[in-house]
Every structure is written in C-alpha cells, then in structure tokens.
Amino acid sequence: MALRKSSLNGKSMITTQDLSREEILEIIQVAEAMQKHRFSDEYTGVLKHQSFLMFFYNPSVRTRQSFEIAATELGGHGLYLEPGGMRLKTKDRAGETIEDVAGVMNRYGCGVGIRILEGKLDYYGRGDEILREYDRYLKVPLVSFAHDRFHPCQGLADAMGYRKHLGEHLEGKTIVHQWGHGALARSHCSVQESMLICSRLGMNVRVAHPPGYELDQEVIDWTKQNCAENSAEFSVTNDPVEAYEDADIVYSRNWMSTDAYSGGEFHKEQEVEKAMQYTDWICDEEKMKLTNNGFFSHPMPVDRTHEVTDEVASGPRSIILDIAENRLHVQKAYMALSMGS
C-alpha cells in the first residue's frame, strides 16, 4: 500500500478516540501492508536521518522494543530517555518544566512518545493530564506509549489482530472485556482503549467485573455513544460467566479498583491482596466453551493462572503473540503517516 499524504501528518495520538474512524482504518491498513512488505524500499527511508524520542517513566518489554525497531526499520533512530537522566520539576523538587522540556524536544526529534503509569502518578487521570500538557507545547507529534487512561497503540494492534482472525469487517462481532484476578494491579489503559476502538469499528462491547472495579465513566459514555452510532450493543455485568455467551473475542485482563489511589499514593499491595480474593474471575476452558469458538486476546504481560489458565493462554485459539507482533506494524504505520515528510 503506497503511502500518501494523510490527515494524520503532524497529528498526535493520546487515544484513538481523538482520531476519525477513517484515520484508525488508515493506520491499520498501512500496518497490514507493512507487515506483508516489511523491508520494502517504500518504507525504509520514511524517517531517514531522523530521531524519535522515547520517554519512559515506567519500564516495558513490548513498547520499547517495538518502537525502537519501528524507528530503525523506517530509517530513523529511537532514543531512549528516562526521568532519572533529567532534572525535571516535580511537586517536591525544582527543575525544568514540561514547557521547557517539550521546547527542547521540538528542536531535536521528529516525534515524541511517553509512557507513564500507576506508581509514577499520585491520582488517576494525572498521566493523561501530563501527556496533554506536553502536547500543548510540542510542535511534533506526541504518541502515548500507555498512560493511566489510554493505550492507543495497543488498541490498534488489537483491532489489526481481530481483522486477521475474524475478517476485515468487524461489525456485529462481540468482544468481552473480562476482569481477571491477578497480582499485578494494572491500570485501566489497555482495556479502556480496546473498548473505544472496538466500538468505533462496530463491535458489540461487553464488560464484566466485580463490584468496585468500575471503569472510567467518561470512557463508558464514549463507548456507549460509539456503539449507538454503529448499531452495536454495549453491556456491563458483575457476573463472572454470563458475558462469555457467544462471544467472538475474550479479553481477560486484571485492572485496579476504584480505591487504588488515596492520599496521593498508588496502593499496589492492597490492590493485589484484594484482587486475589476473586478466584472465580479467571478465564478457563470451561468458560471459553460458552463462546462462539472465540479467540483469547490479551495485551501482555499475561498473569497466567490468575487472569487466564495456561491451557487457554497457550491454546490454539490464543492470539496474544499475533497481537504483540502487531504493535510493531501499527506503530510503524502511525509514525510513517504522522512523522514522515
């Protein structure tokens, strides 16, 4: 697929909800072409001699690898940055402001990515505020590498995988976002992004979680609106089994409770202790039998034996590694469309 001038050129991506449906599909379609022709001359010089700045408040496996490789395969360079290597202003310490840091980044890079999650924040929503403050001062595109509210690249990778396994047209297919008990006290970002992008593409969206694990109400409202605009269904249940019925995709993932932050701190140990009590909330083979021969999806890392059994996670209907690979392709596509000249 030949690259053409895109409305995404110069455009940041903090959540896919900020993009048009056409822009979402454009990224995915270019990513599918890039997967088929990974080292084509058409793509390998898109970011020639340019540097992409990768700012990690939190560590990662897939995000750093996939973005650094994406920059290289587009002919550019991914530069790893972390707060410990800078003098940044915080509530407790003097240092450089976001305005000044962003101003410097404008002079050096073709784009910026930021990852900021859980323990690096003192309340839910703060990560989203920080990214949007950077975006106000940046003149180059900003992409979220995952923050407390959204994970747009993961959502795009998910959707690309669903198109491969369910067909190009996802309208009328059903995805279940099933809370799973686990020991990682995860943010809401991946599941909320999945809800948003799947509803934009016409999928029926189900959410299942125990009481006390409600998701962001604004995201719920956006998902309902997206479903209504696409003649799709949206539902929420507190039952650990019923949402599996006739589902095409099961997305079993732990996420933190509504009480995860208090007193300006993220209480991980208490979150893990509480979550581990809900032993019925695990994706297993018996529940998967209720689906429409459904696929198991997960953004990884997988908390095996808690969120999902090994039998399902490593089974023939698991697409978790396909989706992990897709991170590289959708990120290359977004970078080429938004940062390429």
Q: What is the tens place of the pLDDT at every residue in 312-333?
A: 999 999 999 999 999 999 999 9
Q: 237: helix, coil or strand?
A: strand
SS3 content of the chain, % helix, strand, coil (to 5): 40, 15, 40
- Confidence band for 93, pLDDT divided at 50, 70 and 90: confident
Are residue 297 and residue 173 in the same domain, yes or no?
Answer: yes
Are residue 330 and residue 262 in the same domain, yes or no?
Answer: no
Are residue 46 and residue 164 in the same domain, yes or no?
Answer: no
3 in a domain, yes or no?
Answer: no
Q: Of residues 332 and 84, which shows the higher confidence score?
A: 332
Are residue 169 and residue 196 in the same domain, yes or no?
Answer: yes
Q: Output the pTM of the full model.
A: 0.97
Segment 90-101 mean pLDDT: 89
8 in a domain, yes or no?
Answer: no
Token pair 């208090």 is at which residue? 262
Are residue 75 and residue 204 in the same domain, yes or no?
Answer: no
Q: Tell me, what's the pLDDT at 2? A: 66
216 in a domain, yes or no?
Answer: yes
Are residue 160 and residue 38 in the same domain, yes or no?
Answer: no
Q: Tell me, what's the pLDDT at 111? A: 98
Are residue 270 and residue 210 in the same domain, yes or no?
Answer: yes
Segment 51-55 mean pLDDT: 98
177 in a domain, yes or no?
Answer: yes
Which element (helix H / strand E) includes 116? Answer: strand 111-116
Q: Tell me, what's the pLDDT at 92? A: 77
User: Looking at the 3D structure of the chain, how many domains does it have?
Assistant: 2
174 in a domain, yes or no?
Answer: yes
Please give the DSSP secondary-structure letter assigned to residue 294: P
Is the bond preceding 141 in cis, omega lying within 30 degrees of 0?
no
**pLDDT of residue 267 exceeding 70:** yes
Q: 23: helix, coil or strand?
A: helix
Are residue 29 and residue 169 in the same domain, yes or no?
Answer: no
Are residue 143 and residue 233 in the same domain, yes or no?
Answer: no
Are residue 201 and residue 59 in the same domain, yes or no?
Answer: no
DSSP-derived secondary structure for 54-98: EEESS--SHHHHHHHHHHHHTT-EEEEE-GGGS-B-BTTB--B-H
6 in a domain, yes or no?
Answer: no
Q: What is the tens place of the pLDDT at every residue in 281-291?
A: 999 999 999 99
CATH, residue 61: 3.40.50.1370
Segment 204-208 mean pLDDT: 98
Q: 265: helix, coil or strand?
A: strand
96 in a domain, yes or no?
Answer: yes
**pLDDT of residue 336 exceeding 70:** yes
Q: Tell me, what's the pLDDT at 201? A: 98
- Confidence band for 1, pLDDT divided at 50, 70 and 90: low
Segment 30-39 mean pLDDT: 97
> Structural domain of residue 98, as residue ranges?
16-150+324-339
Are residue 181 and residue 283 in the same domain, yes or no?
Answer: yes
Helices (H) then strands (E): counts for the chain: 11, 11
Are residue 121 and residue 268 in the same domain, yes or no?
Answer: no
- Confidence band for 297, pLDDT divided at 50, 70 and 90: very high
75 in a domain, yes or no?
Answer: yes
Q: What is the tens place of the pLDDT at every residue in 105-154?
A: 999 999 999 999 999 999 999 999 999 999 999 999 999 999 999 999 99
